[in-house]
Amino acid sequence: MPAVAYGIEPDLDAAEFRRVLIESGLAVRRPTDDLPRLARMLAQADLVVTARRDDDLVGVARTLTDFVFCAYLSDLAVSRSAQGLGIGRGLLAATRAAVGPQASLLLTAAPGAVSFYDRIGMPRVADAFRYDRE
């Protein structure tokens, strides 16, 4: 099995990002039919951590953060063919390392991913609120 290489890729190609969103199952919750919007999502992110196997993109963690107090992990996507290999955990670890120990990390789990976060022991937050997109 090829090794997984984690990296920070601020200039990740939107088409590659789109492919992983589709392969991960997150396409139903992301604007994958709007490549310019995906490109803006990447350009405006403060941190884009990737996972590659043999240079093939298999995972992405896209975060909005100030690097000193808070971080919102907006997208954590792993291609289905690479799920179960620890890549999601690796992306979370690399993201936490990059934002630093003083920043909290928050995310909103997709309904099908809740069991993953429970299984890895990520603490739940009870008092969260949000406005949906218009």
**Angle, in degrees to the nearest 10, between helices 14-24 and 35-44:** 100
Residues in Cβ contact with 40 at an 8 Å cutoff, skipping those fewer than 6 apart: none
pTM, full prediction: 0.94
Beta strand 4-8 with 70-78 is: unpaired
DSSP 41: H
- CA–CA dist 79, 104 (Å, integer): 26
In terms of Cα–Cα distance, which of 67, 48, 69, 51 is closest to 59?
A: 51
Q: What does the pLDDT profile of the chain (134 residues) look like in tens digits? A: 679 999 999 999 999 999 999 999 999 999 999 999 999 999 999 999 999 999 999 999 999 999 999 999 999 999 999 999 999 999 999 999 999 999 999 999 888 889 999 999 999 988 888 888 88
